[in-house]
A = this chain, B = another copy of it.
């Protein structure tokens, strides 16, 4: 016991020395400009991790939740998951000759998405996201990310993630936070890539999901994705999903649209020190500029609520040195 104690002490000392050197050497948020936004983030993290502070938070309660579309990866000109669904329709069309004469498939196959109303959208999502086992879908989604191409940037969607947010996730984790995605996007669509893109493992991804059905095939169990919604993780669904999946109230939440309003309010209404971050897409040159009038990622009610709730609005244009990892 004494021996172990001695070793533990040495271990502890070395850990402190090492971490001191690392912190002194490097800026944890190099893609962020030195604006007040960066200062607020660092101040918050330093406060809640300082055992001497009245606002100290135990590591197990350092929960941070991040929206995904438009907050960690690009969402314009169409949601990444819709781009996937459209590509899947094209890939599946040889087995569906009837689609050539049936809307919405007919137009989608011609590259015309103007006729995609809500009903058509749901049909396309449903057809491409159900009828296969969860394991088959995982393979389909993973391989799509390798071949996908964004129309503006001509790069894979997996490259169109925000470098400053990746650094923020890493910075929070380095300070004992557990980082989660809480997204309106499909949970099975995100999970195959979140570890690689953001360092977030599947079990820390909360999202929208369809009903799964347990079946035996050749005596072996499979889970089949059904064309029926199980849970919508958007708006009020976000605090509900957080409660269901995490069971703790976050102390840090980050979003970029009205779909994140309830998650931010839930987070910053909690006891103790909290942080609400609202990413504002105001950089038409490096990415896109959109907010109140946008069909995708509409930011209106949440933007109005920011100052009252002391949410920090991040200007992509002014607060970010770089946007995408490939700029470095």
Contacts and interface: CB of A to CB of B under 8 A. Distances in A.
A55 to B, nearest CB: 20
A174 interface: no
Contact of A203 (B8, B15, B247): B247
B269 A220 contact: yes
Interface string A51-81: 0000000001000000000000000000000
A164 interface: no
Contact of A187 (B21, B201, B205, B244): B244
A314 to B, nearest CB: 23
Given A269-B220, A269-B221, A17 B7 contact: yes
A4 interface: yes
Interface string A194-224: 0100000111010001001010000011010
A3 interface: yes
A40 interface: no
Interface residues on A, range: 35 or more
Contact of A262 (B11, B18, B221, B245): B221
20 contacts: A3-B21, A4-B18, A11-B11, A11-B14, A60-B201, A178-B203, A187-B247, A191-B247, A202-B248, A212-B240, A212-B243, A214-B236, A220-B269, A221-B239, A221-B266, A221-B269, A223-B239, A223-B240, A223-B243, A245-B245
Interface of A: 3-4, 7-8, 10-11, 14-15, 17-18, 21-22, 60, 134, 178, 187-188, 191, 195, 201-203, 205, 209, 212, 214, 220-221, 223, 230, 236, 239-240, 243-248, 262, 265-266, 269
